[in-house]
Each structure stands twice: as C-alpha cells, then as structure tokens.
Structure 1
C-alpha cells in the first residue's frame, strides 16, 4: 500500500475524527495556538445548509418516514436496531454493503461517516461519572484500575458543560455528581406525580429531568440559539439548539485561523519513527481519488470513535510494534464494552385527563443508579448498577387502529388527546471482559484495500442478572406509584445497540496491562493520545459522551504543556 505515498506539509497537531471528542480536540489545540489538521474519513457537512430534513414534516416524506426496501437492504445491519434507518435520518448512517464488518457474535455497529460524526445524532444525555465508577475495578478485582479518580476529571467536566450548554438540576447525591447547568426542562404532570411517589416510597431513589446538551436559559453560546422543543435533533438543528461539533467546537476551532479541515481522508496508519520512538505522522487514503498521502505532526489525537481508532492502531504495525501501535500489553482490541438497555416497564393512568403539554420536549426523565452504592441496603447479587430513562405522554390517534368504531364518533374521539402512558428503560453497566474483543481480518478487505473488523462480544451472566432486577424494579416503582396496566419488558439487546461502544485501548497505571496512561497517552508512544471511547477502563452506567469530551480537554491541556516544555 505504501509504494506511492505523497508526503506534504507538516502541522503542529493532527486530530483524527470530528465527533464529540475530535471536535473538542480541534477546538482546544487550535485555541492553544497550534496549527492543526483535522481529518474526517467521511463527507463534508456544512452546519444548517446540509440538514436537509430538518424542516420536513412526516406527511411530506414519500413513505411517511418509513424506509423503503432498498434502504433496508443497504443498511440491513443497522436496520436491526429499529431506530437509525428512518427516512428522516437514514443519510446520517453508513451503507452496510459499502462498509462491511464481520460478526462472530452479533454486534450492532452504528456509524456515521461525515464531518461531525455521531455528534449530529447523539442522544445528548450529558452525565458525569462518579468516584464509585472510577474505583469499582480496583475494589472488585475486575480488569485493571483506572489511573484517575473523579477529582482528576471534575474541573474538565465543568469546563465542557459551560461551553456546550447542559440543562438540568443538581441533586446533591454522590452517584450523580452535580454540575454546571442551565435551567432544567420541565417534567409534565404525570412525571411530577411519579417523582413524588418515588420520594414517598423509597429513601435512596430520585427522579429528575435528564441532563441534556440542549440550550436553555440566558447564557450566550456563539452562533447558537435556545432549544425550541421541536425534538428533531437527529436531523441536525439549524438553530444549534443542541451541542454538535458542527454547531459548536469546529466553528470555534475555525475562528482561530489555525484549523485545516480535510474530509474524505481515511486514516489507515500512524507512522512510528524508530529513532525518536515517537509517531511522526499519519497516512491517509483519499476516499474519492484513492491517492495515499502522508502528513506529519508533533502531536496526534485519535478521536475516530472506539472501533475506528483501535482499527487504526492495530493497522499501524512496525518492527517495534508488530501487533499494533502501543500494543505491548496485548490488550488493544480487547475489553470491548457497551451498555445494555431495552428492559424496563410501562403503565397508564386515568388521572390528569384535562391536562396536556406544549411542544415536543427533547429530553427524558432520569432515575440515577440506586444499586450497589457501598451500603448494605443497596447490595445485590450482581456487580455495578443501572439507571433509568423514560417519559410520560398522551397517546395519539394510533390508539384507534384496533377500534371497531367508525364515522363521526370515531373522528371526534381521535381529535382528543388519548390516555396518559408512562414508560422507562434501564441503562446497565457492562463489565470489561477481556474476551469481548474486535480483531482485523486481512482476508476480507474493503474497497480501499483495508482490513475489515470482526466483532466477538456478548453480554454475560452479570448483565443477565442485572436485567432481571432492572425489569422488576421498574415494575415495582410504577406499581407503587399507583399506575395501572403495569407491564414489564425485556427485549433482545446486543453489544453496539446502545451506541456506547468503548474500552478497546484502555487507560491504566501499568503498561503491561493497559494501552494508555492517566493522560490518555500511549504508554510507549508519548505523542499519541487516544481520547474517544477506546480509552475507557470501565463503562459506568452513564451516557459516556460528556466523559469523552472532558478527558479530551484534559489531555490537550497536558499535550500543549508537554510540547512547550519540549517533552514531546
């Protein structure tokens, strides 16, 4: 592959990827005065201009939002999830035929190849991990110990929250640390009822509105406006009402004059220099022309997403690193994690028949973890814990699909709001199993001649035990709160499905058992940083994007200081 590689200009820093961590790396590096090349393997996306379905109503789509058979064939693996191939959002996700991967066990790898990556389609729940999470591995003798604790990342959480804008409320509980929030979105009347009933029946459980990266309040965020409750976030927001790289961090990097953004640049190798024992640059394939180009830099930030970053590292083989860059421990590609969900309960109520709500709130309620909190009462027969996310709403006209009525009576009934329904789903922690892994298959290449990825991962006994408790406690809480028709559910869930894959290049104190140190540097290659989900040593139960951004900001701060001290 390297017979015809064109070498061109050098930069101070290179960032691989433009999602939540890549955008933050670009912003922080550029604002520190470094000339930074930002590489994105997918197409260019211009904020506002390229959000083609942002204003399209459901009745204006050809199939009322349902994907046609051809779409399903091209995204057949992602279509298994049931939520990424809608007519309004299918263009944000890759063609599974053009970008194949392999499965020893089912893995739902959901990808978006374009500037902004999954920052355009993420769920926006911005939750801090806590000391309970950072200490768990060491306490239980699972995997390896995190090389940091909550206090190390706390100020960086605050920095990120202030810049991206997170709405929510502080609860003053250790398992969900307080943060810097704009005014919370409001719970509706049924959710308020549920909140009050939980506080009456349980001493260690709390219901709050979720903490979302949607703008509220009076704080100024350049180029962005407050959320107006359209709840079309996955289509791209012309107002910049929610945080994305395209609306926020990449424009900030651009304003410095220090960023060069190059889309359609598929990174396939980080080049290691035997003499300096550092990386000297990266090699890319232009996705359009297929030409190979090498760029050089003093610092490299890997933010391509968990699986993509690890794939690049595994492909970066040399005499010093025959099994992948920085892979002295042999852990690169192992300890793959994702959250398990799609388990919980729902119910109904005949109360508040005269009440409804305005708009379509793009946020759910949140019930923080209440299991295994280092006290006797919360201890269970499984390790770690879970949280719940949910909402209450009035049902719509579809409730009448099975009805036998017709004519004027039916029409009048359908114009009225239906009964209230409430539901919630748990998000559970997955332990970091060495056996859960991704590998490269050099016998099955993609159209650019690169190896495809094979997944071999599954949820195991601890997660199965946890799911039973998740369902039962959802039923218990709704029942205790007085809801009717309470029914539990436990739907099939596979790794990748929650789109929180992480852990394949973990942080640790010991280079013999981990890939990265406490500053997200590769142990043996100090000028390469990995700050996307690959760095995670355990998963917690929280949505992880806020942690990726905080770790990225912290790592850039360290890298810039090291560079100024000529230590890189």
Structure 2
C-alpha cells in the first residue's frame, strides 16, 4: 500500500467501477442479489430530475438561443469538432478537453461524460440485438478471434434486460436482426411509409421504425413514465421515458439498501494478490481532495467504458502482471473498434404536400443489414461484414429560401408553409477488429491527478472505405427506385470514435493466449474481475451495441453472484 494511501470503511462484497450503461446494470444486479456493493464514479453526482438543469428550456430561454460561445467551444475543441457537442442545452454533460486530455497519433474522437450515469444520459438509445451472423463472423472470415458465446447464450439475457429497459420497436423475424421484447413501435411518417413500401416491392429490403429504449406502452416501469415526444432526451428526461442509469438501474440498486455510491472517485488500479491469485480491491484518487484511498472486495466489475477500463487494467501492474492486469495475451488495449458513419444520400420527393407530422419523435428509421448474410445473393467481393441504415424523412423550413423582398405580409404567410419533404439515409457500418488499432498509456504526459494519459493509434482501413462506397451507391439506388429526386450523396468518414461505440480493448475469447476475458466476461487469469463494457467486445457488428452491453453485464453479474454465494456456503 502507498504511504499516502488510506483505507476507508470496511470490505465490500463487490465493487463496480463506473455508473453508465454497464455499471448501472452491474450495480442493480449485484445489489438486488444481496451483495453489499460499492459503486465508484469518477465524476460528479447526478440525481434523476433534480440535476437536469436544461430539461424544460426552450431555445429563447438560453443565451444565444443555445449556441455555444467561442470560449466554450475552445474548452471542448475535441468534443465539438464532431458536431455532436454543440449546444448549451447539453454541453454540460461532456468533458472539458483541457481538464481531461488525451493524445492522438491519428485522429480519434473520444466523446465522454464524467458524472453519475455517464453517457447513459445522452446516448442515442438505438437498441438492437446481435445475431449469430455477428457472433460467428470472426471465426468464418478469420479476422479477430472467435467469440466464446453464441446467440443462444445471450438471448435469455437480452429478454431479461429488455423487460426492464423498455424497447419500442417492431418485430420483423429477420435472422440477422433478432427481435426484442417490444413496447409499441413509434409511427413512421408518410414519406417513410412510401419508401418502406417501395423497398419491399422493388428490392426485397426492409425498412422499419428504429428500435429505441423508450417506454411507449402501458407496462409499468417503476419510477418511469412514457415518452412525451419532446426529443430533448440528452438533456435528461424528467419523465424517465427513455432508459438511463439515473432513472432506472441506479435507483433500483439504491432501493435495496445494499449500494454505496461514491462519486468523485477516480479508479486507477485494481489490486492483485499473487498468493491467492485474485484481485482484492480497487485504488482510487478522490477527484476533489486528490487523496488516495483503497477499497476491498471479493468481486470487481470494471465498467468504466472501453478505453477507461483498459487504462485501469494497464495501470494495474504487478510482478505477476508487468504489462497490466490479465494481460498475458498482450491484447489489452488492442483491437479498437467503432462504427463508421457519415456516408449515404438524401433526396426530395414530389407529393405529400398536404401532409405533416405531430410531435418531435425521438427516433428515426432503420434498414437492417442486407449484405454478406451468408448466401450468394448478398455476398460482396469488395468488403467483409455489413452495414445498416439510419435516417428519416422530414419537411424543411423555408426561411433559407426567403430573400429580403419577402418581408412583410408575404413573409409571414410563407413562414407557416413547411418546405418540401426530404429523405435521409445514413450508413452505419462495421469495423473489423484490427490488432494494430490500439491505445497506449503516456507516462510523460500526466493529467492533473498524476495519472498517465491515453494515446490513440487507430484508423479506418480498406474494408471500411470499400463498404462506404457501397453504402452510398445503395442509398442512391434505393431512393431512385422509390421515385425520389434531387439525390445528393455525402461521405464524411471522420475518424474512429465518431460512432461513440468504442469497443474491443479487452476482448472476450476462448483462448487466454489471444484474449483477455472468458465467456462470462471474467479475466482469464483473475476470475473475480469482470469487464462488461465495450472493452469486452470481440467484434462490432453493425448494430448499436448498448443493448448487448446490458445483456452481457446482467449475465456476468448473475454468474458472479452464484460464484460468490457458492464460496460463502
């Protein structure tokens, strides 16, 4: 133990590092199963409803109608360059890039939120199951290592978490996109319905409403209400209409009386006992006082996010693990994956001028993967794996078309007329697990708590760029065949991180020589440490991954509980 290290309180049954999508689920499951659990969050506390300062503000309630100032942009220059972190209504959820620096050998857009709930407050909420097409992909095409599980292993856990989360969507019966347990689907608008009909008739492709973590039905969800179609989700929802740790799993854990939540706690090392061949606790730095503390537990869940979890493991060095806890394979920090987006097409359509829509639907459309499905018809020679589309249709306003001469009565009349319908299709593609896409720790550039900063060295490669060409081409073909016009393509590849789905830095696998975690998300050589956030992913699929993190976490937590109780008896 460090000379400056203090021990605080007694030993816990379990420690959970992180309070986001995965950490919240780990806390809920461990606490509900009777384990005294310490939950560590490096950021500030955020209580559901009480701590959503902009949840009800209109644009005119904010300075500059919500646009950030030059000074604010400068403080979040990496966060803001993506175009994602731009408004005052939610910028407070995203980190200050000067306070939390990182390094880039190649551009990497690391979008972070340090507070209780993490990115579960401002996530996109699109929720899709992976299928055996995804779990078998690495084995079949030779990239990465084979997943140690298959769909049948995780399917019951998808169902388990979906009942708690509330997933609005439509059953399709597609093998490449297994159905969830659904709340009622949100409605497509008339132009989306038109494209859906044309795709089914002319191209045998499916368009559906997005599967999104919003309550839309009458099934009770304790402490949460229905979605109100405000589309102000990432400010924090006072109704609890969408799933977040703050509105759902953290309160559930708290209700048990078994949770101790400690914010402002930066975990930096998991302590390893070589004599007993297990982890014994977690070292933290108090973010406010900079005091170092150590907490003990029998079970540790590392759920800090893919990059942060990998960094904690890499810093957890000992004589047994000189390169980081559990890093016998040398794969820790490697195989970074994300989803590449920003390619596709948009177009207008004639007709439907007499139709509009009501409310602000916090959701779009989804076109499931139709490439490389395992048959000759869908096989592509230029790229492996596949992609889906997200997007939607809407009516543009006309203000950009009105010149000064339109002022006066004519201008006021035109303000009431919506613009033409425009359909947008954006691809969402899989990235292969490349070993040389990696992160390392820089011990020469330390943060304000004296910890090493992360350096990213990752990029899209030929397979992703070839896939993007097909994404654009097929978007054009689908829109043309459906009668759309004024088609405009786009291709903004940006860099890994742009999908905000970082994965793969401590992957699951069958062989300890080529992976970090086993089939239950345990570190192969330190089985009382579980890693269940994006770090554990062996491949990425093309679907949004958060639902998979939840299912894997619930599965792993229940496995840990059984192991713990068996050891106690």
Q: TM-score normalised by the shorter chain: which range applies?
A: over 0.9
Q: How does 1:283-362 map to 2 (within 5 A)?
A: 283-362=283-362
1:399 Cα deviation from its structure 2 partner: 3.4
1:64 Cα deviation from its structure 2 partner: 1.2
SS of aligned partner of 1:341:
strand
Distance in 2, matches of 1:296 and 1:341, equals 42
Contact 2:402–2:411 under 8 Å retained in 1: no
Distance in 1, matches of 2:105 and 2:409, equals 56
Contact 2:339–2:496 under 8 Å retained in 1: yes
Contact 1:157–1:547 under 8 Å retained in 2: yes
Distance in 2, matches of 1:179 and 1:539, equals 19
Contact 1:75–1:85 under 8 Å retained in 2: no
Distance in 2, matches of 1:556 and 1:144, equals 24
- Deviation sequence 1:69-117 (CA, Å, 0-9, x none): 1111100001110111311111000000000000000000000000000
- Deviation sequence 1:270-315 (CA, Å, 0-9, x none): 0000111000000000000000000000000000000000000000
SS of aligned partner of 2:366:
strand
- Deviation sequence 1:490-518 (CA, Å, 0-9, x none): 11321001100100000000000000000
Flag the 1:384–1:248 CA change in 2: closer, same or farther, 3 A. Answer: same
Distance in 1, matches of 2:224 and 2:407, equals 47
1:416 Cα deviation from its structure 2 partner: 1.4
Distance in 2, matches of 1:323 and 1:436, equals 18
1:567 Cα deviation from its structure 2 partner: 8.9
Say if 2:6 is the partner of 1:6.
Answer: yes
Partner of 1:53: 54
Partner of 1:439: 440
Tell me the number of residue pairs that the alignment of Structure 1 and Structure 2 aligns.
567
Distance in 1, matches of 2:515 and 2:3, equals 33
Distance in 2, matches of 1:63 and 1:327, equals 50
Which runs of no fewer than 5 residues in structure 2 stay unpaired?
A: none
Contact 2:340–2:493 under 8 Å retained in 1: no
Contact 1:37–1:262 under 8 Å retained in 2: yes
Instruction: Give TM-score scaled by structure 1 length.
Output: 0.99
Partner of 1:261: 261
Partner of 1:153: 154
Distance in 1, matches of 2:440 and 2:405, equals 55
Distance in 1, matches of 2:125 and 2:84, equals 16
Q: CA RMSD in A?
A: 1.2
Q: How does 1:218-237 map to 2 (within 5 A)?
A: 218-237=218-237
1:397 Cα deviation from its structure 2 partner: 4.0
Contact 1:399–1:418 under 8 Å retained in 2: no
Distance in 1, matches of 2:399 and 2:40, equals 45
Q: Which moved more, 1:452-461 or 1:554-563?
A: 554-563
SS of aligned partner of 2:312:
helix
1:411 Cα deviation from its structure 2 partner: 2.0
Distance in 2, matches of 1:428 and 1:277, equals 41
Q: Which moved more, 1:430-439 or 1:400-409?
A: 400-409
Q: How does 1:129-148 map to 2 (within 5 A)?
A: 129-148=130-149
1:342 Cα deviation from its structure 2 partner: 0.6
Contact 1:147–1:507 under 8 Å retained in 2: yes
- Deviation sequence 1:191-215 (CA, Å, 0-9, x none): 0001000001112x10000100011
Instruction: Give TM-score scaled by structure 2 length.
Output: 0.98
Q: Which moved more, 1:104-113 or 1:343-352?
A: 343-352
Q: How does 1:556-567 map to 2 (within 5 A)?
A: 556-566=557-567
Distance in 2, matches of 1:567 and 1:338, equals 40
Runs of 4+ in 1 over 6 A off after TM superposition: none
SS of aligned partner of 1:342:
strand
Distance in 1, matches of 2:114 and 2:139, equals 37
Partner of 1:175: 176
Contact 1:168–1:211 under 8 Å retained in 2: yes
Contact 1:27–1:253 under 8 Å retained in 2: yes
Distance in 1, matches of 2:370 and 2:523, equals 35
Distance in 2, matches of 1:513 and 1:230, equals 46
Distance in 2, matches of 1:462 and 1:367, equals 21
Partner of 1:276: 276
Contact 1:507–1:516 under 8 Å retained in 2: yes
Flag the 1:403–1:509 CA change in 2: closer, same or farther, 3 A. Answer: farther
Which runs of no fewer than 5 residues in structure 1 stay unpaired?
A: none
- Deviation sequence 1:430-476 (CA, Å, 0-9, x none): 00000000000000000000000000000000000000000110111
Contact 1:93–1:111 under 8 Å retained in 2: yes
1:407 Cα deviation from its structure 2 partner: 2.6
Q: Which moved more, 1:410-419 or 1:523-532?
A: 410-419
1:524 Cα deviation from its structure 2 partner: 0.2
Q: How does 1:389-538 map to 2 (within 5 A)?
A: 389-400=390-401, 405-538=406-539
Contact 1:337–1:503 under 8 Å retained in 2: yes
Q: Which moved more, 1:410-419 or 1:315-324?
A: 410-419
SS of aligned partner of 1:468:
helix
SS of aligned partner of 1:100:
coil
1:484 Cα deviation from its structure 2 partner: 1.3
1:401 Cα deviation from its structure 2 partner: 5.6
Contact 1:15–1:38 under 8 Å retained in 2: yes
Q: Which moved more, 1:226-235 or 1:411-420?
A: 411-420
SS of aligned partner of 1:71:
helix
1:66 Cα deviation from its structure 2 partner: 1.2
Partner of 2:193: 192
Flag the 1:348–1:402 CA change in 2: closer, same or farther, 3 A. Answer: farther
Distance in 1, matches of 2:423 and 2:2, equals 57
1:403 Cα deviation from its structure 2 partner: 7.5
Distance in 1, matches of 2:130 and 2:431, equals 14
- Deviation sequence 1:204-256 (CA, Å, 0-9, x none): x1000010001111100011000010000010000001000000000000000
Q: Which moved more, 1:55-64 or 1:19-28?
A: 55-64
Flag the 1:20–1:535 CA change in 2: closer, same or farther, 3 A. Answer: same
Flag the 1:177–1:536 CA change in 2: closer, same or farther, 3 A. Answer: same
1:402 Cα deviation from its structure 2 partner: 6.1
Distance in 1, matches of 2:84 and 2:110, equals 13
Distance in 2, matches of 1:518 and 1:402, equals 63
Partner of 2:545: 544
